[in-house]
Structure 1
Amino acid sequence: MLGLLHCEPMRRRISVVLGFSLLTASLTACTPSPKPNETLAQMYQDALFDSQALATSQPELASLRTEQAEELLAEIHRICGFDDEGTVPASCEVEVPAVAILPADDPEQYFSDSQVKILDNLDDIPKDSVTLVIEQFIEQSSFVQGADTPALPDLDLSDEEFATAQDLADREFSAAWSLGVALSQAPEYQDAIETAIDNHHERASLLQTITDLDTFAEPGYISELPAPTDQASALETVDAVQSNMLQAWHAAASAATTDSWRVLCAQMAGATARDISLIDAS
């Protein structure tokens, strides 16, 4: 009798433990191995290719592409996750292309090609990776020639995106006015600042078309900025205005849910970055 009392619970315990072990093994076997996002992986490989191709002729550009490759690889690993030992799963390792150093007769073309690929694939990368990829697009923009303001794409904006477009229109009009005030104190930078003013007006007009906005920002709209009194303070104003616009476009692109609006915002952020580089180079 005592033997039966002790034996029955043991059978049940063994059965439960065995069942749990089999279930765990089954779940482990059925869990798919994480894979790197294909678009991010391709961008990573392209960045490595560019860095090697530009290593001799354009070390500054090569260094930027190396940094961008490292950022993309870190992002791929972040998305894949790590095991208990902090190691990336083998399935998430990305093949490193073996590329010989190539002649770079047109180094700008490497960045132009990269930017085209970014804009074409923004909808294919994880949502929380968009901010990083657009930041890389912006960094590359300073090294490529500017393009005309893009044609207005077909847009079906959400309410939030429409409100953002209205806010950006106000900001662009205000930025143009603020740069005009600064220009009077920085005549040596006249050409670059006037170009930036014209570009702000073009972007504002584009946004007017999108939002049916027919009012201009009143003078003093950006009240936080003190009126410049000399060239140094004028350049500080220019830098603040341009940086604020760059951040606004970057944020709009990162938050966008409509692909065509996301692309347009990225293009405007890149164009603003080019304006900044032109002013800095004056």
Structure 2
Amino acid sequence: MIRLFVPDALVAGASVALPAEQTHYLVNVMRLGTGAEVHLFNGRDGEWRATLTATGKRSAALAVTAQMRPMRLPPDLDLVVALVKRSRLETIVEKAAELGARRVRLTTTGRTNAGHTNVSRLQAIAMEAAEQTGRLDVPQVLGPEPLDRLLESWTPARRLMFCDEAGDDPQMRWGGDAGRAQSVIQALADQPREAPWAMLIGPEGGFDPAERDRLRSLPFVIAVTLGPRILRADTAAICALALWQAALGDWSAAPAEADLGA
């Protein structure tokens, strides 16, 4: 079933006008005609069944008929990721949406070697991933902010899991002599469910020593290792999100009846 994100309020009997891009997708790419069924969501009202009532070259109209699923948000989980090369960053945003992150917060660090990023394009990628994966909201992509400034404004109630994948820190080496490295599973074993969390993934060059020291000094930060191999940023983000969802998120329990759809 085709799903579309729309900004309109969704109630039975409402009419939704689609812009040119979504019209092109339905009419020219998917070859739908009047009477075809589409599912709509807006991040507020759940998922609704709608019928295509009119089509044109640059616009189409849908009639909203019945609610399929009530609104339900994923766990309150952010992904904080340092800017990396465009293709990898786009993959990270797409997979974060698939894995249930509510927000993707971009940051710059001392070793960030990527420049400007197109936040609007990343937001569009997040929307497309949300449409395809069945979630009822679209994760927000927030523009780059220096790591120091982000930490200064951090809300301490949100725990921050700091993943250091550079491989040049003896404290974080898997099985190293320092013995301080925690796996994600160890770090999350006794943590309460329903608490807000964030994952921090560094740049391709890793975090510099001053950044590591500051992160470890903060009471809301938990430093972890993602295993014996050095992971690229996109792989690290996927692993961290998946492990968190399995330990504390919506992978760790059977889905609620409301999530199963009609």
TM-score between both structures, scaled by the size of structure 2 = 0.26
TM-score between both structures, scaled by the size of structure 1 = 0.24
Q: Kindly indicate which of the two structures has a greater share of residues assigned to strand.
A: 2
Q: Kindly indicate which of the two structures has a greater share of residues assigned to helix.
A: 1
